[in-house]
Amino acid sequence: MIIGIDPGTSGGLAVVHYRPHYPPDVLHVIDLPIITVATGKVVDVETLRKLLFSFTPDMVVVEYPLWQRHDGATQASTSWRNFGRIEATVIMTCISSDRTALCLVSPTTWKKEMGLTLGRMADRKQRKALSMAVAKKLFGDKVLGYLSRVKDHDRAEALLLSYWGSLTPPPSTLK
């Protein structure tokens, strides 16, 4: 079982069970749980911890944020803060079991390997649409209810992160 997490205040989480010679079983796909605190919206680590604890994944794949030209300082700070909350929650909840590997991956790495690069001229809308299309193609009818809204592109990317993790040799478990 592999959990893919696309971090951020509009991020997604997908739990997928992979077995050799069988199509993947999509067990759970949600928007990341978010709460509002004095400094803004952040990932709700208590709800995330409960979700992670209810599964026993072999691997958790988390995309780490990259600064982009259009991101301001506040956006970059929020992205890294939420990433840190997710990483710490995964380590405290899953890694302590000695069974779960944590794989941190840059968006450029996994998207290139999954064929999700459209070049510099493509806009964000085109990139989001491509993620949705590829996830629907890979997972078929199993994800139609999870990817019915335009804003579900983060859920699609969580599914694709999970799929990418199934193709990648697992990293050594963090201890």
Domain boundaries, the chain: 2-167
pLDDT at residue number 120: 63
Per-residue pLDDT of the chain (175 residues; tens, 9 = 90+): 999 999 977 899 999 999 888 889 999 999 999 999 888 888 899 999 999 888 888 899 999 877 665 555 566 677 778 888 888 888 888 776 667 788 899 888 888 888 888 666 567 788 888 999 999 999 998 888 999 988 899 999 999 999 999 986 655 444 3
Output the six-digit token pair for 92.
């405290």
**pTM over cut 0.85:** yes
pLDDT at residue number 175: 35
Residue 40 region by backbone torsions, left for phi larger than 0, else alpha for psi between -120 and 50, else beta: left
pLDDT at residue number 136: 94
Strands (E) in the chain, as ranges, are 2-6, 12-17, 25-31, 34-37, 40-43, 59-63, 101-105
As a whole number of angstroms, the distance between CA 89 and CA 79 comes to 15
From the options 3.40.30.10, 3.30.420.10, 2.40.10.10, 3.30.420.40, give the CATH code of 2-167.
Answer: 3.30.420.10
